[in-house]
């Protein structure tokens, strides 16, 4: 019997259900029949928004094929029933609009946008087009976009960054269609300026000491020791490691830029032990069938280790990159070098670490001490 596992997770500020299964064309095609199920390039998984109705829909849809559904992890996260305003239910796209959306995706790809950006713009545009069908209009006016903005984003309490992505995606679609519309009047909320969560050196040590699996330990150690984004680490190939110059070559990262970052001597010992044990052939970190490793698996490992060390901070894979930059700054590294290592286009982005650096804060004399 074929088996499918349903797992709780979060994506773009929403609670979701990830749909995991060994690659199988029949399962994939059956899952895609559900209009609310999406594919996430970031998670490398099919998913849908977590709700009671979507859980029931998934169970019934999968059981139509008499396949086994493992939903034990979902049982632990019970969703209370709500008597609030009914959720906005969007109709399915017509075949013609689905085809146009496919053409729009190819158009975006020709603009050499990143895969994540392309997938996000296509996803939010699909929601907008379905909303237009709900409103029985093909007039994509500023008024319709503002209504969509309120009903689909504001009332659903979606993040500011997601709201801006929606507006950007719709703008690109209208440009693709050759529709002239003035979107500058649509007010965009300012993104919250939040300082990154940073781990101490002792906390980083504790997390790594709590990981026994060699592959997991090597991957997470790489994120911290080189200050990498998870996507950059998973895209690394064996020949990107330059042990003679003690550098790591990051190719075509965010903004389509190449850069070099540090290769730690201590990490290199760990990397060599990992290489001998796993013998990757193409990507440095391989998952099943020689494909790239999943960042969802890496996040799960980190989460478990953080829980075991009883660290009460919110820790993600990106926290390791933030901690790398902050610790460099506290050790006296020039901010311009940190900017180059992280691959930031502007020094303003890197300057955020001056706000979380213990060294810079310790040098400030508190006036209360003078009383």
User: Catalytic: which of 105, 171, 254, 292?
Assistant: 254
Give catalytic status of residue 254 as yes or no.
Answer: yes
Residue 10 backbone dihedrals phi, psi, to 5 degrees: -130, 145
Indicate the Cα dihedral angle 314, 319, 325, 328, nearest 10°. 70
Give catalytic status of residue 355 as yes or no.
Answer: no
User: Catalytic: which of 229, 259, 322, 327?
Assistant: 229
Give catalytic status of residue 353 as yes or no.
Answer: yes
3 state SS of 17:
strand
Cα(7)–Cα(16) distance, rounded to whole angstroms?
Answer: 8
Q: Strand (E) positions, the chain?
A: 3-11, 14-20, 38-40, 45-49, 68-70, 241-242, 247-250, 259-262
Cα(357)–Cα(130) distance, rounded to whole angstroms?
Answer: 46
Give catalytic status of residue 229 as yes or no.
Answer: yes
State how beta strands 38-40 and 14-20 pair.
unpaired
Cα(263)–Cα(6) distance, rounded to whole angstroms?
Answer: 38
Cα(352)–Cα(360) distance, rounded to whole angstroms?
Answer: 12
Residue 285 backbone dihedrals phi, psi, to 5 degrees: -120, 110
The DSSP line for 74-128 is HHTSPPPP--SSPPPPPPPPPHHHHHHHHHHHHHHHHTT--HHHHHHHHHHHHHH
3 state SS of 268:
helix
Give catalytic status of residue 135 as yes or no.
Answer: no
Give catalytic status of residue 12 as yes or no.
Answer: no
User: Catalytic: which of 215, 217, 321, 322?
Assistant: 321
Q: Count the neighbouring beta carbons within 10 Å of the beta carbon of residue 370.
A: 6
Nearest to 230 by CA among 141, 321, 162, 159: 321
Cα(319)–Cα(326) distance, rounded to whole angstroms?
Answer: 10
User: Catalytic: which of 172, 217, 259, 344?
Assistant: 344
Provide the annotated active-site residues: 229, 254, 318, 321, 344, 353
């Amino acid at each position: 019997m074929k088996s499918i596992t349903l797992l709780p997770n979060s994506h773009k500020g929403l609670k979701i259900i990830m749909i995991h299964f060994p690659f199988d064309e029949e399962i994939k095609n059956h899952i895609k029949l559900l209009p609310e199920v999406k594919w996430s390039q970031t998670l490398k998984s099919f998913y849908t928004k977590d709700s009671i109705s979507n859980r029931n829909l998934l169970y019934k849809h999968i059981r139509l094929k008499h396949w086994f559904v493992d939903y034990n992890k979902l049982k632990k996260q019970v969703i209370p029933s709500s008597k609030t305003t009914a959720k906005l239910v969007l109709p399915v796209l017509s075949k013609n609009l689905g085809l146009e959306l496919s053409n729009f995706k190819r158009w975006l790809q020709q603009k050499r946008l990143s895969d994540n950006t392309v997938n996000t713009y296509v996803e939010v545009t699909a929601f907008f087009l379905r909303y237009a069908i709900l409103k029985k209009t093909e007039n994509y006016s500023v008024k319709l976009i503002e209504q969509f903005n309120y009903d689909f984003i504001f009332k659903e309490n979606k993040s500011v960054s997601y709201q801006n992505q929606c507006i950007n995606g719709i703008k690109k679609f209208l440009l693709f269609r050759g529709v002239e519309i003035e979107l500058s009047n649509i007010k965009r909320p300012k993104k919250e300026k939040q300082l990154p969560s940073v781990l101490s050196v002792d906390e980083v040590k504790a997390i790594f000491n709590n990981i026994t699996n060699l592959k997991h330990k090597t991957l997470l150690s790489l994120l911290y020791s080189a200050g990498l984004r998870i996507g950059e680490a998973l895209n690394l190939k064996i020949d990107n490691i330059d042990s003679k110059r003690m550098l790591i070559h990051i190719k075509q990262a965010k903004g389509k830029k190449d850069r070099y970052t540090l290769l730690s001597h201590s990490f290199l010992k760990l990397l060599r032990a990992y290489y001998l044990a796993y013998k990757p052939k193409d990507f440095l970190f391989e998952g099943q069938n020689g494909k790239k490793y999943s960042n969802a698996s890496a996040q799960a490992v980190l989460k478990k280790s953080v829980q075991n060390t009883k660290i009460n901070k919110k820790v993600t894979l990106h926290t390791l990159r933030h901690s790398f930059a902050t610790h460099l700054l506290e050790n006296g590294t020039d901010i311009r070098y940190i900017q180059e290592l992280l691959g930031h286009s502007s020094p303003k982005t890197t300057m955020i670490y001056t706000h979380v650096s213990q060294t810079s804060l310790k040098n400030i004399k508190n006036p209360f001490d003078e009383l």
